Amino acid sequence: MSSVPSEGFVREALDRHDPACYLRSIPERPTAELPYDPASIPEGVPLMLDTTAYIDKAARRLPLSIDRLVAVRRVIHSAVALGELAISIGLLDPTDPRTPGTVGTIHDILGGIPLGKAVSPSPAAHIEAGLVAGILARTQQLNRPRKGLTPEQDCCQKGLRRKLLNDALLFLSAAEQGACLVSANRTDLDRLLRFWPDAHVLLYQPLASPVPA
């Protein structure tokens, strides 16, 4: 990311991602055009897992080729993903009999990550991620005026915008570290790659059934 003063960086970001150039929703590309091949990731490039990749790994639902790659590459942990994991502990219904097992899994994931080695997006990444998330929210009609929405619709719209921001922050967190972001989030990562086409991303389809232990 740029080290210029914030005013100059904002101008640079606007030059790279001019909102006026994005007036319609960005269409999804065919699977064949997306980065699903682990062999395409250059040697020595570390990995960064998105939130669902941690869960899929713990549930043994990562494709074998992805799981093998994670086992042999250095994994950089993003504070964005760790926060998204942690929020589930508070969100889950304590009275639901399934909750203890899920919380235990998340606890084990978070407990196995040295917090001193986790990284956070820079202030510059927050600015650029916010700009791009705003463009994506607008072009996906997530900018409807509150007065025309029910409270439920307004809450949903805000939640989807926040999700776009977190996706962009995680994407740029990986980019700042020179890491490849591993994710099953095909739709949002496809769109984010239009803004940063040189970033390393590895997509996967979670397995329908867990790999036997």
Is residue 6 a part of any domain in this protein?
A: no
**Cα–Cα dist 211/129, whole Å:** 35
Is residue 58 a part of any domain in this protein?
A: yes
Q: How many CB atoms lie within 10 A of CB 175?
A: 22
Is residue 5 a part of any domain in this protein?
A: no
Is residue 67 a part of any domain in this protein?
A: yes
Is residue 2 a part of any domain in this protein?
A: no
Q: Tell me the residue range of the domain where 184 lies.
A: 39-203
Is residue 92 a part of any domain in this protein?
A: yes
CA dihedral defined by 77, 82, 85, 87, rounded to 10 degrees? -170
Q: Does residue 168 contact residue 189 with C-beta atoms inside 8 Å?
A: no
Is residue 29 a part of any domain in this protein?
A: no
DSSP 32: G
Q: Check which CATH number belongs to the domain holding 62 and give it.
A: 3.40.50.1010
Structure-block tokens of residue 128: 């650029």
Count of domains observed in the chain:
1
Is residue 32 a part of any domain in this protein?
A: no
Residue with tokens 């009275």: 95
pLDDT lower than 50: segments of the chain: 2, 4
pLDDT at 6: 67
pLDDT at 7: 67
| 15 burial via Cβ count (<10 Å: 0-12, 13-18, 19+) | exposed
pLDDT at 152: 81
